[in-house]
Amino acid sequence: MGSALLFSIDRGSCMGFSPAARYTSGMFRYLLVVGGMILLAIGTAFVSFDRALSKLPDDPQNRGTLTYADTSGPTNLDPNKTSASVDFRLLKCMYQTLLVYQFGGEGLEPGVATAIPEPTNGGRTYTFNLREEARWSDGEPVIAQDFVYAWRRALLPDTASDYAGLLYKIEGGEDFHNWRAALVNFEALEEKIKDDDQRAAFLERFPELEAQAAVDADGRALLTPEQKWALTEAMFDELVGIKALDDHTLQVTLEVPTAFFLELCAFPTFSPIPEHVVEQYTQFVGGDKNDATVRTDSTYWGDPDRVVMNGAYTLSFYKLKSRLVLDQNPHYWAKDTMGNLRIVLEIVEDETLAILLFKDGQVDWIVGISQPELKKKLLSSGYEHAHSVPNAGTYYYQYNCRAEMDGKPNPLADRRVRQALSMCINRQEIVDNVMGSGESVSLTFVPADQIPGYDSPNDAALGYDPVRAAELLAEAGYPGGEGIPKIDLLVNATGTGGGANVDIAVVIKKVWEDELGIRSVNISQPIFQVYLEESKKGNFMARRAGWFGDYRDPTTWLDMLQSSDPNNDAKYSSPAYDALLAAAALEVDAQKRLDLLRDAEALLLQEAPVSPIYTYATLMIYDAQQIDLGTNAWNNLRLDLVRIERD
């Protein structure tokens, strides 16, 4: 079904065609041709979205339901594990962190903490006093140990948290992570600490580790999982600077002063988790010879009958690929300040259908429109409810840097090949002709002008230069593309980015083949969930990717290309890059620290494990006269404060 129909349907009357002169007769002819399809789609929409919800409770403030549409539902509602923006949007509603962003996203305010603490101990120690009125959705109090438990869980390699590295800022966090990994599988230490001298120093600090991790002649662990877990709990208490001083006092000590630590305290990975509940669904998992790891039943997090949370809402309904419903948490300490009592996510893969639902009043907000032609029509028509919101996020291509793939040499392990591919991307063409919704060309990985004091290294960027690109490819041993194997390009055709990802890939495929002589570029376009799984496994030669800043600092982009970072799916590894990031982490002078990070990004751009393409802008659909979403470049939304009146 085409998108032209949406310009002729008034919101509130799904079949009421507007006579406005600006709509062309061609669009009306289009409507006549596909009228049957439209009726079928609208009928399907009513069947799918007119399912009865329970009646909202009486409310003197007359607060109602915020309904929004997205092309995909959550991928993982475990706060410690996910890194997807669609999940974070929900998790910020379901769990409350120590600190939260103010409405509009410009500053922090207390969440579970009673106040924003000042650091002590030379800027390394923060002491948080917790609200005595904070409660879990089962009525139990939120205590400091719930944060200790959650943050320890995020640090455990067993959990495989994408953001474990953020907790390395805490004293002993990285040592604990590496120690536990080696205890479970001693050989993992070589992957965790690649430098031989650093690994030797680590083992010298923990002389009993090798014996504790020992296996018998058949490869079976000598210590039981329970014994190893007891050692793990003791080691965490000894090493890591996360302490519950009492039920309502949490003390955190950092490795070094960290300028953005308080912002991390508002990030979903740093949410508390109810130990008294989650432990019921946690057990040891492992085979006969492999030591067992600690895992939580993954179905717990999306199960309304079991999951317990401390945020403004509770999960009351979730049907895969259909609908998710959050209702006001009756035990939420600030429930009287909420702007609505319910949030409904309608999962609508067809964006044109989503706009029909918006125009019929069935949804209040469409998170984003990704179909290029649909975006262009919305903007060119001057559609009053289309809002382009600039983002602190980078759309980029990532190249697999492993030496081998499928047992064969990987040509992209050579930086000259990566440079050639990057220099054959015409970013301006993509922004102008494919996207066209407010995006801007980006030659740097960290979006320009988003970090105060940070000078983007544009001089190190690889701009569009197909002549030099061809020379680099020849220097790498592939003159005119001769001899280079097929390049598999992984993009997702559904979910985040949707069809635009494919359109961009088609443009890039053509220029790689035409300008570089590469004989074959295969575009693989699985559904979003499969794309995420394949990306995490490293099953790609090149892939499209996107990264929105999690906090206001260059490291939110740069850290994930560290050799050991869990988000480093392409396994880029540069001792020089790692050293610059390590030096920046120790630098207490704010400007000198940013200068070191600039040097690191400059090196990254020259090494080209990633090709920045554009800085995101999200095209949202909502009626600004009816709701204020508090939109901002960093996507720090407070949906609990969005005011919705009942009809």
E strand spans, 236-369: 242-246, 249-253, 282-285, 293-296, 313-319, 323-328, 342-347, 365-366
DSSP per position, 476-513? TT-GGGTTPPPEEEE--SSSTTHHHHHHHHHHHHHHHH
Whether pLDDT at 50 is above 60? no
Q: Is the pLDDT of residue 187 over 80?
A: yes
Confidence of residue 85 (pLDDT cuts 50, 70, 90): confident
Per-residue confidence (pLDDT) for residue 488, from 0 to 100? 93
Distance of CA 469 to the CA centre of its chain: 32
Distance CA 288, CA 576 (A): 41
Q: State yes or no: pLDDT of 335 exceeds 80.
A: yes
Mean pLDDT within 622-634: 96
**How far apart are the C-alpha atoms of 405 and 392, rounded to whole Å?**
33
Identify the residue with better confidence: 337 or 635: 337
What share of the chain has pLDDT > 90, as a percent?
78
Assess whether pLDDT exceeds 50 at residue 36: no
Query: CA quadruple 169, 172, 178, 180: dihedral positive or negative?
Result: negative
pLDDT in tens, 397-415: 999 999 999 899 999 999 9
The answer, yes or no, to whether residue 496 has pLDDT greater than 80, is: no
pLDDT band per the 50, 70, 90 thresholds, residue 497? low
| Cβ contacts of 431 within 8 Å, gap of 6 or more | 439, 440, 441, 614
For the record, the structure tokens of 4 come out as 């032209």
pLDDT for 384 beyond 80? yes
In the predicted model, what is the mean pLDDT of the chain? 89
Instruction: Report the percent of the chain where pLDDT is more than 70.
Output: 91
**The two structure tokens encoding residue 361:** 């009043």
Q: Which of 387, 389, 371 is nearest to 379 (CA)?
A: 387
For 237-254, the pLDDT digits (tens) are: 999 999 999 999 999 999
Name the least confident of 25-34, 471-480, 482-491. 25-34
Q: Using a CB cutoff of 8 Å and minimum separation of 24, what contacts does 342-345 make?
A: 342/53, 342/56, 342/64, 342/65, 342/66, 342/313, 343/65, 343/66, 343/67, 343/68, 343/93, 343/313, 343/639, 344/53, 344/65, 344/66, 344/67, 344/68, 345/67, 345/68, 345/69, 345/70, 345/73, 345/90
Q: pLDDT of 11-35, one tens digit each?
A: 333 333 232 333 333 333 333 333 3
Q: Which helix (H) or strand (E) holds 563?
A: none
Q: Which of 138-142, 225-229, 289-293 has the lowest mean pLDDT?
A: 289-293
pLDDT of residue 219: 85
